[in-house]
Copies of this chain bind each other. A is one copy, B any other.
Amino acid sequence: MLDLMQITTPVLLLDETRARANLARMAARAERQGIRFRPHFKTHQSAAMGDWFRAVGVRAITVSSVRMARYFADAGWDDITIAFPVNVRELPAIAELAARVRLGLLVDSEAAVTALGMACSQPVDVWLEVDTGYQRSGLPVEHVDACVAVLRAARAQAHLRVQGLLTHTGQSYAAQGEAALTALHAHTLGALQSLRAALATAGFPGLELSIGDTPTCSVVDDLGAVDEMRPGNFVFYDWMQHTIGACSEQDIAVAVACPIVAVYPARRELILYGGAVHLSKEFIRPADGAPDYGHAAALDESGWGPAWEGVYLRALSQEHGILHAANTRSFDAHLAACNVGDLVAVLPIHSCLTADLLKTYTTLGGERIAMMETAP
C-alpha cells in the first residue's frame, strides 16, 4: 500500500506488477523469435531493477554511457553494449571496462575505430552503426564503400571483434499503429539485409543484425532475420508509446504523484506541483495542435486509475504544471471535485526522461528503489 500522507512533493511511482509484466512479455517475444534480448537499461538506470531482468533470464544489456556501463558492471553485469558512438575522450575508461566485462561499442568512422583499437589492450566487440533513415548517428545504410572502409579499419586492430550491424529506427516514434510499424520494420530489415549481403561479398561475412526501438519490438510480431533486440522504454512505457500504439494505457508502469496547489475553475485548470524539473519538457502534439506534456489520473493507496479523458498538461514551467480540461464536460467529470492539497497521478510523455530527473522509484507497495546518481 502507498502511504499517500507521506507524499508531499512530486514522487515517481512504479507499478512493479506492470513493469514485470512488460518485461516478461518482451522477453517472451524475443525468445519465441529466437532473438537475443539485450534490453536498454538507460530507461530505469537501477541496479535493483536490473535484478528483475536477471530473473527472466537476461544476461546481456545495453546502456547509453560509459558511466552507466561502469555502474551496471559494478552491479555484476558482464556483457554490456554502450549504444552510443564511441566517445574517444573516454578511451581510458573504456579500456578499463573492457578488461572487466565483455564490452560492445558502436563505431561508424575510421577515426573512431583506429583510436579505439590503439587504446584497447583487451578484446572489444564493435558494431558498425548504420542509419536506416532516422538521421541521428550511423553511416547511411546505402553507403557500402564507407561501411567497408570502417570494417577494414576495425579488422586491422588486433583487439576489435566486428559483431555486426546495429541500428536505431527512431523514425518509429513518428509512426502510429501496427501497419505503419510493420512497414517501417520491413524497410529497415530489407536495407540492413542488402547491406549485409554487400559486406559479405566485400569480405565481411556473418555479420549480425541488432535493432533497438521499443515501438517496433513491441508491435511487430515477426522481426525476421534479426539477431538481437535492444528495447528499453518498454519496461515502463509512457503516454508517447501509448499514442504510437506500442502499448495500452494499462501497460504504463510509472506515474508521478503531484500535489494540487491551485484550482481555477473558470479556466478549467489546476496547477500541479510537477514541472519541467520533474517530468521533463518532452511533449507530443496531437492532430489538433496543442502541445501535451502529460495526462492525469486519480490516485489512491492502491495506485492510479485510468487517465482522465479530455484532461492534459498544457504547459510546464520549472516547478508548475498546468492541468487543463478541454471542455466543461471533462472538467466536471474529473477536475471539479479536486481541491488544493489533493494528489493526482501524472502519466509522463517520456518515462526515460522523467525517471532520469526524479532518480528514485516508490513502488505501489511503498518500497523505495534507487537509481544511478547524477554525475558529480
CB of A327 within 8 Å of the partner chain = no
Against B, the Cβ 8 Å flags (1 = close, 0 = not) of A52-82 are 0000000000001111000000000000000
Against B, the Cβ 8 Å flags (1 = close, 0 = not) of A296-320 are 0000000000000000000101111
Q: How far is the CB of A194 from chain B (nearest CB, A)?
A: 19
Out of B89, B320, B340, B352, name the residue touching A88 (CB < 8 Å).
B340
Cα A375 to Cα B277 in complex, Å, equals 11
In the bound complex, do residue A8 and residue B376 qualify as a contact, i.e. CB atoms below 8 Å apart? no
The secondary structure that dominates the A interface is mixed
In the bound complex, do residue A89 and residue B356 qualify as a contact, i.e. CB atoms below 8 Å apart? no
Out of B66, B88, B261, B277, name the residue touching A137 (CB < 8 Å).
B261
Cα A356 to Cα B273 in complex, Å, equals 17
Q: Which residues of B contact A66 (CB under 8 A)?
A: 9
Cα A271 to Cα B112 in complex, Å, equals 13
Cα A32 to Cα B348 in complex, Å, equals 45
Against B, the Cβ 8 Å flags (1 = close, 0 = not) of A253-288 are 000000101110011010101001100111000000
Task: Given A135-B267, A262-B109, answer yes or no on A89-B7 (Cβ-Cβ < 8 Å).
Answer: yes
Task: Given A9-B375, A277-B353, A340-B109, answer yes or no on A262-B318 (Cβ-Cβ < 8 Å).
Answer: no
Out of B89, B340, B356, name the residue touching A277 (CB < 8 Å).
B356
In the bound complex, do residue B341 and residue A89 qualify as a contact, i.e. CB atoms below 8 Å apart? yes
In the bound complex, do residue B9 and residue A318 qualify as a contact, i.e. CB atoms below 8 Å apart? no
In the bound complex, do residue A85 and residue B375 qualify as a contact, i.e. CB atoms below 8 Å apart? no
Out of B115, B137, B317, B374, name the residue touching A170 (CB < 8 Å).
B317
Task: Given A42-B318, A262-B109, answer yes or no on A341-B84 (Cβ-Cβ < 8 Å).
Answer: no
CB of A166 within 8 Å of the partner chain = no
Number of copies: 2
Identity of the chain B residue whose Cβ is nearest the Cβ of A263 in the assembled complex: B109
In the bound complex, do residue B353 and residue A276 qualify as a contact, i.e. CB atoms below 8 Å apart? yes
Out of B136, B261, B359, name the residue touching A87 (CB < 8 Å).
B261
CB of A322 within 8 Å of the partner chain = yes
Q: Which residues of B contact A319 (CB under 8 A)?
A: 42, 64-65, 84
Q: How far is the CB of A239 from chain B (nearest CB, A)?
A: 15
Cα A136 to Cα B262 in complex, Å, equals 10
Task: Given A8-B90, A360-B376, answer yes or no on A340-B280 (Cβ-Cβ < 8 Å).
Answer: no
Q: How far is the CB of A200 from chain B (nearest CB, A)?
A: 25
Q: Which residues of B contact A317 (CB under 8 A)?
A: 136, 170
Q: Which of A66, A85, A343, A376 has the most CB of B within 10 A?
A: A85
Identity of the chain B residue whose Cβ is nearest the Cβ of A111 in the assembled complex: B340
Binding site for B on A (CB under 8 A): 7-9, 42, 64-67, 84-90, 93, 108-109, 111-112, 115, 135-137, 140, 170, 259, 261-263, 266-267, 269, 271, 273, 276-277, 280-282, 315, 317-320, 322, 339-341, 343, 352-353, 356-360, 373-376
The 8 closest A-B pairs by CB, nearest first: A85-B261, A88-B341, A8-B89, A281-B281, A85-B262, A89-B259, A64-B319, A8-B90
The contact sample of 18 A-B pairs, CB cut-off 8 A, is: A8-B89, A9-B65, A9-B87, A85-B262, A87-B261, A109-B262, A137-B261, A137-B271, A137-B320, A276-B282, A280-B280, A280-B281, A281-B281, A318-B352, A318-B356, A357-B357, A359-B376, A360-B376
